[in-house]
Amino acid sequence: MDLDDDKRAKRRKTQTEDDDDDHHHHQPQPTAMETLPNEIIVDILSRLPITSLVQFKFVCKRWRALTQDPVLADMHLSWKADGNDPCLILHCDFPIRNQLYFLDLSAHNQDKDKVKRLYVPFQATMPEFDVVGSCNGLLCLSDSLYNDALYVHNPFTMDCIELPKSRQYSDQELVFGFGFHPKTKEYKVVKIVYYRNTSSYSRARRTVYPQSDVQIYTLGSSSWRSLGKVSYQFVRRPSEALVNGRLHWVSRPRRYHPARRLISFDLADEQFREVPKPDCGGLNRCNFHLSVLGGCLAAAVYGNYGKLEIWVMKSYNVNESWVKQFTIGAYMPKCLKLNLDRHRPLKIWKTGSNGKVVRVLCSLNSGEVLLEYKNRVLVSYDPKKGKFRDLVFQGLPNWFQAVVHTGSLNWLNTLH
């Protein structure tokens, strides 16, 4: 009996040792990537396109945690800003429910010829929206139906927050801005409210809003702040250029001050200032828009016969540094030669480029300039050769407004 017990004990011991060996052999071995120091992994990942990083977070828990590391987000942004072509967010309001699409212009992106539709998490509560602005991978969007909802959204991390409600007026007109200041490291939303008393009556062709209220929201704070009145009347469209931590708008002409002005708002000290205009003689009319080219403030001035002059301020806020970089001749993309404007969505028709054919988006690594024609076609222009090239992308919506964007892993909870 004792011998049988000894045999059974030996068999159990041998079986246990075998099980331990099997468990040891079946444990997943760390990959070569996982054996690298964390700082090297972060450096490697920071050089990847945003579409690869989004897929990367599904590999394992450790890699998902890495994609939420603010250090990786900052390094990725710095690489994107250093000589890389941007991507575009295409805002489409046709059909009725608004959609966002994504197009990566980076040369190393395998899907650079494909337009991808983005998920909009707040679409059920805000089906109609306007893009206020894009900054460091974050989009700010406003409700275009009721004017009361504002969201900040990263379309790649799916991170999204609704901003607190601010003061509303019964009869108002809104001008927005969204940006980041590199010194304060703060993101701010600027909401300029022009309003009037409902009892007032005006016989003017355009409704006049004599009173104003500048409202500021800092991302991570609990409420809006009021800065009081603003002495400028801005064209009703979001800030078109963020340069040196300053948002920029164009003022409307007034009866006793017909000249249009370029006005900046410093996101650090929260002051409005006038910026020198280029000496082109054309900024007193409704024939120009602002953009950013090579990190500099730029003005695209419409001339006669469909020509477009591109002026660039080489040294910020220095009047003498305005240079006419080049002139773009008249051009009409092939697919626009047919008169298809009758199919244009009403909102884009009203809020597009004020009837102008072309809008300057950004400059590319190749030295070419990216243009948008009639909210329908993307065209690259080579200023050295004076040649145009229609860009064809699979899945491009019929009507859109393009927003220059930098895809990033910025997580909103790290900004609070």
Q: Where are the alpha helices (DSSP H) in 181-222?
A: none
- What CA–CA distance (Å, rounded) separates 329 from 302? 10
- DSSP label at 28? P
Same domain, 298 and 317: yes
In a domain, 19, yes or no: no
Range of the domain at 42: 38-74
Last residue of a domain, one of 47, 74, 101: 74
- Give the closest residue to 247 by CA, choosing from 175, 314, 302, 311: 175
Last residue of a domain, one of 74, 101, 125: 74
Q: Pairing mode, if any, of strands 246-250 and 241-243?
A: antiparallel
pLDDT of residue 325: 92
In a domain, 409, yes or no: yes
In a domain, 1, yes or no: no
In a domain, 203, yes or no: no
pLDDT of residue 203: 52
Average pLDDT, the chain: 80
pLDDT of residue 341: 52
Same domain, 131 and 162: yes
- What CA–CA distance (Å, rounded) separates 152 from 134? 10
pLDDT of residue 345: 52
In a domain, 95, yes or no: yes
Looking at the DSSP bridge assignments, the partners of residue 265 are 247, 272
Residues (pLDDT < 70) of the chain are 1-34, 46, 51-52, 54-60, 63, 76-84, 94-96, 107-113, 147, 198-207, 256-258, 281-287, 338-356, 412-416
- What CA–CA distance (Å, rounded) separates 262 from 387? 31
In a domain, 28, yes or no: no
- Both tokens of 416, joined, read 């609070």
What's the domain count of the chain? 2
Same domain, 329 and 236: yes
In a domain, 219, yes or no: yes
Same domain, 191 and 70: no
Same domain, 48 and 194: no
Same domain, 54 and 141: no
pTM of the shown model: 0.81
Same domain, 43 and 181: no
pLDDT of residue 389: 93
pLDDT of residue 261: 86
In a domain, 234, yes or no: yes
Same domain, 53 and 87: no
pLDDT of residue 349: 38
Same domain, 70 and 167: no
Same domain, 53 and 98: no
- What CA–CA distance (Å, rounded) separates 317 from 312? 11
Same domain, 177 and 239: yes
Same domain, 56 and 102: no
CATH of the domain at 395: 2.120.10.80
- Both tokens of 12, joined, read 């159990």
Looking at the DSSP bridge assignments, the partners of residue 39 are none
pLDDT of residue 352: 45
Place of tokens 């004020």: 354
Looking at the DSSP bridge assignments, the partners of residue 246 are 243, 266
